[in-house]
Amino acid sequence: MAELRRRLTGEERNLRSRVDKCTIRVSKCAETYVEFFTLHHEYDPFLAHAEPQNPWVSDSTDFWEVYDKCTAKDQVKSPS
């Protein structure tokens, strides 16, 4: 009787410690990280290329220079 009680107490302790542990599969964890970084990739300044600052807010004219380069190719010459 004492042997059975000791064995059941040990099993109870083992089961309680398993319930207290938070376990997650590594594949699920990796999948969650990949999903998160894929979703937020465009907002991460280290991964995404930053656009020039708004010239109306800052003193930088980089935006206008980039815009001029883009529209110079797209302009249509008017017939003379």
State the distance between the two ends of the chain, measured CA to CA, in whole angstroms. 110
pTM: 0.34
Q: How far apart are CA 79 and CA 68, in angstroms?
A: 22
Neighbours of 5 (CB within 10 A): 9
Q: Is the pLDDT of residue 32 over 80?
A: yes
Question: In which domain, by residue range, is 21 found?
Answer: 6-74
The two three-digit tokens of residue 34, written as one number: 């990949």
- Residue 79 within a domain: no
Question: Residue 54 — very low, low, confident or very high, per pLDDT cuts 50/70/90?
Answer: low
Predicted pLDDT of residue 13: 92
Where do the H-state alpha helices sit in the chain?
2-20, 26-39, 62-74
**Tokens 């990280």 belong to which residue?**
33
Q: Is the pLDDT of residue 10 over 90?
A: yes
- Residue 64 within a domain: yes
- Residue 80 within a domain: no
- Residue 1 within a domain: no
Total count of domains within the chain: 1
The two three-digit tokens of residue 28, written as one number: 């699920």
Q: How far apart are CA 23 and CA 49, in angstroms?
A: 37
